A = this chain, B = another copy of it.
Amino acid sequence: MAVNGLNGVNGTRSKHDISTLKVNQSRLMDAIHGGCKYGAAHRYGDHPTETGMARLSLNDADKQIRDWFLATAKSLNCKTSIDQMGNLFAIRPGKNAAAPPIMMGSHLDTQPTGGRYDGILGVNAGLEVLKVLHENNVETEGSIGVVNWTNEEGARFPMMAVASGVWAEVVPLETAWNLAEVSPGEDGHKRTMKQELERIGYLGSQPASYRAMPMACHFELHIEQGPSLETERKRIGVVKGVQAFKWFEITVKGRDTHAGTTPFYARMDSMLCAAKLIVESNAIVKKFGGLATTGILNADPGSINTMAHTVTFTLDIRHVEDDKLSEIEKACREAFSRISEKESEKGCKIEWKELVDSPAVKFHPDCIAAVEASTKEVCQDLPMTSEDGQLWRYMISGAGHDSCYTNRRCPTSMIFTPTKDGISHNPQEYCSPEDCAIGAQVLLGAVLRYDKLRAD
């Protein structure tokens, strides 16, 4: 791909400028940590930034960061809009303002014990790119924007990236609107997404669809969330795809009887059954080289000396290959049935509810090429730390992202930055200021390259 920079007209920046445009590291970090005052939680050190985050989608802190996002976008003369899923769009018009914009997207919601980078880095890097274009009076070929996708984490409403899923017309709007939060509020009731969108004032009128908001392409900068880049002392991951995963809610129905008087043969112990299923799912995925995780488990009625009549737990299974993920699911279904036919688990009924089905994703070659070219340029100026003499590598993402859904409707790819100790979904999640800025710089270069590409 040729990299020629921008055409200069009327005082706007000229050709060959891509390499001279630089993101501002301290401004980027100030924005990241400044925004983290909304929803900061789980302090682990004395420094003001040594906290994690608990900005669950559509909670009060999420409303505050949304207000901040729109104010920031407006200060950069962006056109802003809100769709029916509360997705926020900020668009900086280019020469050809009629053409779909190039979008830089990620999310501002976090896990309940989340960190300061997952999603947050991507949105802030997008805004930083707009700031660089703004302060340098860069006129791009087409429009360039940033999107903050709603409820990417799936932590509060149990469908990850549900709002980009609606945009892609993969998830029906009503399904998403009716999604209930995983744990009830203080009054014992579970809110739906629509109720919470209304409550915080972010139920927009713009249809949540790629038809109403088409995109030229979608780039997402994100922390890797795993250990590879750090271990190999590389600075950038050029992400070619995302592994497949599925989420299930599994309900085990047994019988509530007395813990002291019910002999094992007369039990239908839903908790013991669930425990065996969790252990078994782990053994199964290991055989296939996949992953399995149970993060939520609820037992009813919840009494020490009474067996639970119902246990509900979540199962997250992953594999880089779709076929292998299907085999894992099949093996789990068979093993779970078998387990529920024996011993104290005999008679337990097992119900599977699929919450998320995210097939393996292959990103678009044009976007990957733009990221790769930008990465190579940025890495040229950095000290060599990696043993194999290359500061970047291709990667497959272990985590799902909104980019999985945008990829169905427009060319998409992602950029990864190192993550300390590979730890994410944890208050101590960390990416150094230098690495955040390098990632944002790669994003800037990829966007401008793609802008040039489409103009050519």
Residue numbers of A with Cβ under 8 A of B are 111-113, 153-155, 158, 160, 182-183, 186-188, 224-227, 243, 245, 247, 255-264, 266, 269, 271-272, 274-276, 278-279, 282, 286, 291, 293-297, 299-309, 311, 314, 316, 318, 344, 355, 397-400, 422-426
Contact = CB atoms under 8 A, between A and B. Distances in A.
Given A183-B302, A297-B297, A316-B305, A422 B271 contact: no
A251 to B, nearest CB: 15
A264 B279 contact: no
A305 B154 contact: yes
24 contacts: A111-B306, A113-B309, A154-B304, A225-B258, A226-B262, A247-B305, A258-B423, A258-B424, A258-B425, A259-B318, A260-B291, A260-B316, A261-B397, A261-B399, A262-B398, A264-B286, A272-B282, A272-B294, A295-B299, A296-B302, A296-B303, A303-B425, A304-B355, A306-B426
Given A182-B303, A272-B278, A263 B295 contact: no
Q: Which of A227, A258, A306 neighbours the largest number of chain B CB atoms within 10 Å of its CB?
A: A258
Given A225-B258, A245-B260, A304 B183 contact: no
B302 A299 contact: no
B301 A111 contact: yes
B282 A279 contact: no
Contacts of A243: 260
Contacts of A111: 256, 301, 303, 305-306
Contact of A160 (B293, B302, B305, B311): B305
A187 B184 CA distance: 11
Copies of this subunit: 2
A299 B291 CA distance: 19
A86 B343 CA distance: 42
Nearest to A265: B227
Contacts of A286: 264
A276 B182 CA distance: 25
Contacts of A225: 258, 260-261
